[in-house]
């Protein structure tokens, strides 16, 4: 059974209630259903649980991807929506990451292991966001009519961003540095709009329609895109 972009294995058994499970390593979804239920009823059940399915499926996929990334020569990495092949240089100097036209150059000290390489690269991604966010905040504060008191960048497994309206603080997922720049702008506007309207109610949607008319398309593409970080949600 296909539900949006997710394939679900459905098995009918002599059981009393529906059982839903998500299995590693890639998040395969399985539903065991009583014989008395129709396929339409099972699909209705799965639709109601879609957010739960996505959350657990994406977590497993993210874990699988992280285990596969070795931070070695010629490995593909994404920066602002473009794919770069990794170059690894071992040298006795301060570790760094630099971007050329087609390569992401990781300079490390000899003997640096995978976890240390990962932290160097992730720190570089966070730096990309810290550099990209201030001009966007400056652009959108007068348009939205809010003030961002402080923003943070960190790795988040299930959300692209969050905010605390009472303090004017915003948190952004460092994985956004892997996505196209327009997605960072969408997430930032989304969170800044929450400073006006904390919930996802009709007023919030009306505000988003006014500030960023294409926001629904951006949301859809961001959460379904194929780029390697997976698909956290807002």
Q: Out of 68, 88, 122, pick the residue that ends a domain.
A: 68
The count of C-alpha atoms lying within 13 angstroms of the C-alpha of 80, restricted to the half-sphere facing its C-beta, is 13
The structural domain count of the chain equals 2
Do 50 and 130 share a domain, yes or no?
Answer: no
d(CA 148, CA 144): 11
Please tell me the predicted confidence (pLDDT) of residue 64: 58
pLDDT digit string (tens) for 164-211?
999 999 999 999 999 999 999 999 999 999 999 999 999 999 999 999
Do 120 and 194 share a domain, yes or no?
Answer: yes
Please tell me the predicted confidence (pLDDT) of residue 231: 39
Residue 230 lies in a domain: no
Do 85 and 180 share a domain, yes or no?
Answer: yes
In 3D, which of 231, 208, 212, 206 has the Cα closest to residue 221?
Answer: 231
Do 94 and 169 share a domain, yes or no?
Answer: yes
Do 138 and 213 share a domain, yes or no?
Answer: yes
Do 56 and 102 share a domain, yes or no?
Answer: no
Domain CATH code at residue 155:
3.30.2010.10
Do 153 and 57 share a domain, yes or no?
Answer: no
Please tell me the predicted confidence (pLDDT) of residue 120: 97
Please tell me the predicted confidence (pLDDT) of residue 38: 93
Residue 232 lies in a domain: no
Residue 53 sits in which domain range? 2-68
146 and 196 Cβ atoms separated by less than 8 Å: yes
DSSP for 123-172, please give it. HHHHHHHHHHHHHHHHHHHHHHT----EEEEE--SS-SEEEETTTTEEEE
Do 130 and 183 share a domain, yes or no?
Answer: yes
Q: Cis peptide leading into 25, omega within 30 of 0?
A: yes
For the chain, count helices (H), then strands (E).
Answer: 6, 11
Do 80 and 99 share a domain, yes or no?
Answer: yes
């Amino acid at each position: 059974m296909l539900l949006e972009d997710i394939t679900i294995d459905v098995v009918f058994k002599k059981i009393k209630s529906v059982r839903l499970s998500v299995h590693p390593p890639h998040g395969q979804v399985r539903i065991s259903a009583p014989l008395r239920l129709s396929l339409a009823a099972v699909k209705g059940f799965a639709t109601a649980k879609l957010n739960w399915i996505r959350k657990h499926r994406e977590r497993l996929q993210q874990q699988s991807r992280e285990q596969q990334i070795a931070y070695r020569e010629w490995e593909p990495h994404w920066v602002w929506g473009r794919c770069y092949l990794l170059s690894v240089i071992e040298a006795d100097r301060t570790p760094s990451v630099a971007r050329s036209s087609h390569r992401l150059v990781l300079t490390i000290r000899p003997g640096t292991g995978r976890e240390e390489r990962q932290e160097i690269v992730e720190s570089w991604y966070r730096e990309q966001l810290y550099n990209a966010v201030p001009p966007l905040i400056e652009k959108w504060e007068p348009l939205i009519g809010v003030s961002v008191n402080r923003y943070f960048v960190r790795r988040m497994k299930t959300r692209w961003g969050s905010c605390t309206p009472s303090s004017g603080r915003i948190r952004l997922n460092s994985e956004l540095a892997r996505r196209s720049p327009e997605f960072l702008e969408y997430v930032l506007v989304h969170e800044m709009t929450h400073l006006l309207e904390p919930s996802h109610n009709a007023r919030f949607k009306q505000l988003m329609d006014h500030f960023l008319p294409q926001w629904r398309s951006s949301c859809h593409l961001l959460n379904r895109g194929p780029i390697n970080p997976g698909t956290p949600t807002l």
